[in-house]
Amino acid sequence: MENILPFSGLYFFIIIFSYIAFLYIFKNILKTFIPYKTLLFISIISYILLCMPDFYEVLIFLLYVYAVYWIFVSNKYHETLFPMIIIALPMILVKLDINPMFKVIGISYITFRTIQAVLDSYNYGKLSFIEFTTFILFPTTLLAGPIDRSYRFQEDLKKGYDNLTLVNIGKGWDILIVGVLFKFIFAEFVNRFWLSGIDEHSTAILDMINSAYAYTVYLFFDFAGYSAMAVGISIMMGINVPMNFNHPYLAPNPQDFWRRFHITLGTWLTDYFFKPLYKYLHNFEFLKGRRLLIQNLAIISTFLLMGMWNGFTWYFIFSGFLFGIYSAIHNIYVVYVKKGGFDYFTIFPEIISINLKRFLMINGAVLALYFFSGRVPI
């Protein structure tokens, strides 16, 4: 059968809408003899087997991450770094292009979801094999997120058929339409009539500026569109996946930007890397009493990880480094003002001040995302 990846084209939408129609038409019959999570599990495995390329690699990787999950959770292993490394090892090998065995579609998202499930098992309990598989291989979020939380996903599985309502159909449809417009209309328009017409190898300043802005606009519509479609379809299936974008280019500072841009990745990195690292750095004698330095080291390290999560090529890492530097500078400035330093933005009226901050932030983001694109002629 022809490979049908999530949101790759018309055939995927035909399959997913047919499945949603099946759920709603027969839900009263289905609920009498099969739990919702079991039905979803069977459906996902069937989709993987029939529609995904190299499905055997996906299933092998599933067994690997579940085995690691089961071992650590069953033994109540409380250290965090070791299980994180073991879970992330296949992803690291793939990004280093060392081991082709685990070249699994969506491996980065599967890895982060598995790490989260392990670390949060102490507070929220463990997942069954059916729940674990359904969570990490859920098709709408498999390739590019959003990165859901296992305990929230598990609650929706428990609610099951009760979440299959006309209200959720309407809510999901509204979000889906926005996603379709963003990804298949706006992103395609930008790519066809703006981005693709730029010579990315040109070293002319105007061409580079044009390329940077074109890519930033394209990335937003493409990625935000994909995320919105994933959220919309998921809600229609009774799974309330969190939103991933919220007007990021209106953010006045780096901290607010990452509360709006790829939100689920930002919150994941904050909860499972930044906070533990920040706490760990306090153990070093030469850093004691240097709270601001510790914060900035943790911030920059977090954004370097974000860059490496996308890939080990220099432009991904440097892009993450730039975002880390932005955040560290903003953090230093905030602390400076809190300690009585002069806030230079107060020179201007509020409306000018907020838009000046937005101007600085969006142009900083454009520069970092330009490097992220790999289009910089270096």
Q: Cβ(224)–Cβ(244) under 8 Å?
A: yes
State the DSSP code for 147. -
Per the structure block, which two tokens stand in for 108? 């980065």
State the DSSP code for 346. G
pLDDT tens for the chain, 378 residues long, are 456 888 988 899 999 999 999 999 999 999 999 999 999 999 999 999 888 777 888 888 999 999 999 998 887 766 677 788 889 988 988 888 776 666 788 889 999 999 999 989 888 888 999 999 999 999 999 988 899 999 999 999 999 999 999 999 999 999 999 999 999 999 999 999 999 999 999 999 999 999 999 999 999 999 999 999 999 999 999 999 999 999 999 999 999 999 999 999 999 999 999 999 999 999 998 998 899 999 999 999 999 999 999 999 999 999 999 999 999 999 999 999 999 999 999 999 999 999 999 999 999 999 999 999 999 998
Q: Encode burial over 174-201: b for 16+ CB neighbours within 10 A, e otherwise.
A: ebbebbbebbbebbeebbeebbeebebe
- Indicate the pTM of the whole model: 0.93
Q: Cβ(161)–Cβ(31) under 8 Å?
A: yes
Q: Which of 148, 151, 101, 104 is nearest to 123 (CA)?
A: 151
